[in-house]
A and B are shown apart, each in its own frame.
Chain A
Amino acid sequence: MSSRDQIFSAIRKNKPAAVPGVTPDLSVVIGYPDLLSQFSTVLTAIGGSCREVASAEDAKQFIASLDKGTFVIDTTAEHPSGLAQLSPAALASVDTAIIRGGVAVAENGSIWVTENEMVNRLLPFIAQQLILIINEKDLVPTMHQAYERISINETGFGVFIAGPSKTADIEQSLVIGAHGPCGMVAVIVRES
């Protein structure tokens, strides 16, 4: 018998009597009177920063005003062809990545980003600094509504990103910038 068959037969023999499933009743889940202020409060608390702008044009201007270093990859604009195939060694010198985000979650400051938007899966992690552009209308209160809005298998890879990378593995002292970005900015566009 293969290991697979062995495992299945042991599970079938030993599993308990059927227990019904449960569908969470979302009416008891927390809501926020002001999604944007909740989102930006949480994101700031976890080491990110947040900027609200009136339009896509204003977003461009704001981002232009930031110090982004010399090697910038902006997947929302024209980007190097072959970005998807760019080697890790080549990406290692990216100073700033600019990527469009999808659903943003007020309760935890996270933003859903899929492979389509990042183009290269390594980009949002290897860049020294990450800028995500989102629409205010994509704010939802909690993860429950977020999963209602997305299909997790729409692309081969998707990730909720909440702030810059961090660690507290040395004596529980928080250090921003572990292996991923040392800084993360969310630009929230009010009009769609």
Chain B
Amino acid sequence: MKDHATLAEAFIQDEARTNWHDETLWFVRQKRDKAAHGLPEWEQLREWASQIKNHTLSHMDSYLEEFERNALANGVQVHWASDAAEHNRIIHDIIKKKGITRIVKSKSMLTEECHLNHYLEEQGVEVVDTDLGERIVQFRHEPPSHIVLPAIHLKKQDVSDTFHEYLHTEKGNNDPTYLTRAARVHLREKFIASELAITGVNFAVAETGGFVVCTNEGNADMGTHAANVHIACMGFEKLIPKASHLSVFLRLLARSATGQPVTTYSSHFHKPKPGQEMHIVIVDNGRSNILGKADFRNALKCIRCAACFNTCPVYRRSGGFSYHTAVAGPIGSILNPNFDPKKYADLPFASSLCGSCSNVCPVKIDIHDQLWKWRQELTKAGHVPLMKKIMMKGMAFVLGRPALYRFSGASARWVLRYMPFMVKFKINPWYKQREMPAPPKQSFREWYIQNKKK
């Protein structure tokens, strides 16, 4: 199993591409800022969202019961899955029972988490992903590299090559409009013929038993309204108590994700259309366990906007695949160790702990604090390689001793100035791909003391 650092090293081989990735995501982050600053109540909105989610988590059982009751009354079939395997089996059973062969799926990170496509393929069932970015990576047999922008690791010439191969578009025509139109024609055929549409769920509303799906492309709606069976998959944490709460979350979601004021479509599903079957699969898959951990349960508030990805200096420069998991980025780094601490022990270290993720998070998850706590936990559990342990111990030792901290700071500044090769030495992974900054002549403390005397 390759860890984050090793995988990131592969990603940064192509410097021009890494820079493009970095700058493009930073641009999305800036669009988010602009949208956020356009609302004087932005911080208040985040606070409301956070409180609504905290409240819901603490009453999860009664809200789930309320949701189930109302959904059943609406004529929707409700299924419960303890884990990924059960989720996949429930969906496959519906497919088998009805003899369905033509399936479309819009974006759902839960189905990625459960590896649904792969499972169904093994049963001889093909699923067509209909989000443009997801269709592109599906053709390429790659997973999405970003939860909102699945093909952000690709350039238009890659897409052009892929479409030339699978959709017979003109070779070398890299025009995004041309390529998008080709996918539109191809996927319209799939929508029209589809018998089953699978979607995710952005928000489920306890008081009405309905759920909301947000897209810009319209692919969730094209699928669900064309097919005679709709299966919506959700982790139980997608629940919110009331319809009026949707206003808080819809105002935050798209602004945080892409800087748009709202997604093109915010679709509210309550009842199947006449002659249609509607199913909801509610999944646990480790979530109830996270709910019991005071330090980490906050992560269940996530609305998957990816603002923490776009702002993260490590994600932007290492790409989604380096996280070797369905949900990458800062949120992935605090969620995944819950599922498999050993396999994902490297992820909480894929961070500079700058805290930018926590600052942009629309539901105020303490992401960088959790990253820090995970480092302690994983080290205690013996999942952390020796080198990192020594460095962490060294840090704790130095930070716990102010006099030594001042001395080592001064000596580090001296070393950086006079013997830079010491830190640029290969064993220090921080030096890879980085120029060390010119060291300041004074520490902040020295400067402060000097200037206070003046």
Q: Do A and B come from one complex?
A: yes
A contacts, CB < 8 Å to B:
2-4, 6-8, 10-22, 24, 28-30, 42, 46, 84, 88-89, 92, 105, 107-110, 115, 120-122, 125-126, 142-144, 146-148, 151-153, 155-173, 175, 177-181
- B303 to chain A: closest CB distance in Å? 15
Asked whether A160 and B262 contact (CB < 8 A) given A8-B61, A12-B61, A170-B151, the answer is yes
**Interface locus among B216-224, B378-386, B438-446:** B216-224
A114 to B382 alpha-carbon distance, docked (Å):
56
Judge if B30 is at the interface, Cβ distance under 8 Å: no
Asked whether A125 and B222 contact (CB < 8 A) given A143-B247, A179-B191, the answer is yes
Most chain A beta carbons < 10 A, residue from B27, B159, B270: B270
Q: B291 contacts which chain A residues (CB < 8 A)? A: 10-11, 14-16
Asked whether A169 and B151 contact (CB < 8 A) given A3-B80, A29-B41, A157-B270, the answer is yes
| Cross-chain contact A167 with B216 (CB below 8 angstroms) | yes
- A154 to chain B: closest CB distance in Å? 9
A168 to B28 alpha-carbon distance, docked (Å):
11
| Cross-chain contact B264 with A10 (CB below 8 angstroms) | no
| Cross-chain contact B260 with A3 (CB below 8 angstroms) | no
A179 to B133 alpha-carbon distance, docked (Å):
13
> Looking at the complex, which one of B44, B131, B247, B289 makes contact with A169 (CB distance below 8 Å)?
B131
- A22 to chain B: closest CB distance in Å? 4
Return 17 A-B CB contacts under 8 Å, by A number.
Answer: A8-B65, A10-B291, A15-B57, A30-B41, A92-B192, A107-B251, A125-B218, A144-B244, A152-B210, A157-B269, A157-B273, A159-B267, A168-B149, A170-B136, A177-B180, A179-B191, A181-B218
> Looking at the complex, which one of A2, A105, A115, A162 makes contact with B264 (CB distance below 8 Å)?
A162
| Cross-chain contact B191 with A22 (CB below 8 angstroms) | no
Shortest Cβ-Cβ A-B pairs, 5 listed: A180-B218, A14-B292, A156-B271, A178-B217, A108-B261
Which residues of B (148-169) have their CB < 8 Å from a CB of A? Answer: 149-152, 154-156, 159
| Cross-chain contact A162 with B221 (CB below 8 angstroms) | no
Q: B437 contacts which chain A residues (CB < 8 A)? A: none
Asked whether A148 and B244 contact (CB < 8 A) given A30-B39, A157-B267, the answer is yes
Which residues of B (32-69) have their CB < 8 Å from a CB of A? Answer: 39-41, 44, 48, 51-52, 54-55, 57-61, 64-65
Name A7's closest neighbour in chain B (CB-CB). Answer: B284
Judge if B361 is at the interface, Cβ distance under 8 Å: no
Name B272's closest neighbour in chain A (CB-CB). Answer: A156
Q: A-side binding surface: helix, strand, loop or mixed?
A: loop
Judge if B2 is at the interface, Cβ distance under 8 Å: no
Asked whether A22 and B221 contact (CB < 8 A) given A147-B246, A152-B246, A178-B184, the answer is no
Asked whether A175 and B268 contact (CB < 8 A) given A3-B82, A15-B60, A122-B226, the answer is no
| Cross-chain contact A17 with B58 (CB below 8 angstroms) | yes
Judge if B265 is at the interface, Cβ distance under 8 Å: yes
> Looking at the complex, which one of A28, A109, A120, A157 makes contact with B261 (CB distance below 8 Å)?
A109
Q: B95 contacts which chain A residues (CB < 8 A)? A: none
Q: A16-B291, A122-B225, A147-B247 are in contact. List 6 more A-B contacts (CB 8 A).
A: A30-B41, A152-B246, A157-B273, A171-B176, A178-B180, A179-B187
> Looking at the complex, which one of B44, B133, B177 makes contact with A175 (CB distance below 8 Å)?
B177
Q: A143 contacts which chain B residues (CB < 8 A)? A: 246-247, 250-251, 262
Q: B208 contacts which chain A residues (CB < 8 A)? A: 152-153
Q: A24 contacts which chain B residues (CB < 8 A)? A: 44, 48, 244, 247-248
Which residues of B (200-227) have their CB < 8 Å from a CB of A? Answer: 205, 208-210, 216-219, 221-222, 224-226
Asked whether A146 and B247 contact (CB < 8 A) given A161-B264, A170-B132, A180-B265, the answer is yes
Most chain A beta carbons < 10 A, residue from B159, B218, B294: B218
Which residues of B (59-101) have their CB < 8 Å from a CB of A? Answer: 59-61, 64-65, 74, 80-82, 86
When each residue 10-32 of chain B gets 1 if its CB lies under 8 Å from chain A and 0 otherwise, what string results? 00000000000000100110000
| Cross-chain contact B236 with A7 (CB below 8 angstroms) | yes
- B348 to chain A: closest CB distance in Å? 22
Name B223's closest neighbour in chain A (CB-CB). Answer: A179
Judge if B241 is at the interface, Cβ distance under 8 Å: yes
Asked whether A153 and B74 contact (CB < 8 A) given A19-B54, A22-B55, the answer is yes
Most chain A beta carbons < 10 A, residue from B180, B208, B224: B180
| Cross-chain contact A157 with B268 (CB below 8 angstroms) | yes
| Cross-chain contact B263 with A179 (CB below 8 angstroms) | no
Most chain A beta carbons < 10 A, residue from B80, B149, B154, B236: B80
A17 to B289 alpha-carbon distance, docked (Å):
15
Q: B156 contacts which chain A residues (CB < 8 A)? A: 170-171, 173
Name A4's closest neighbour in chain B (CB-CB). Answer: B80
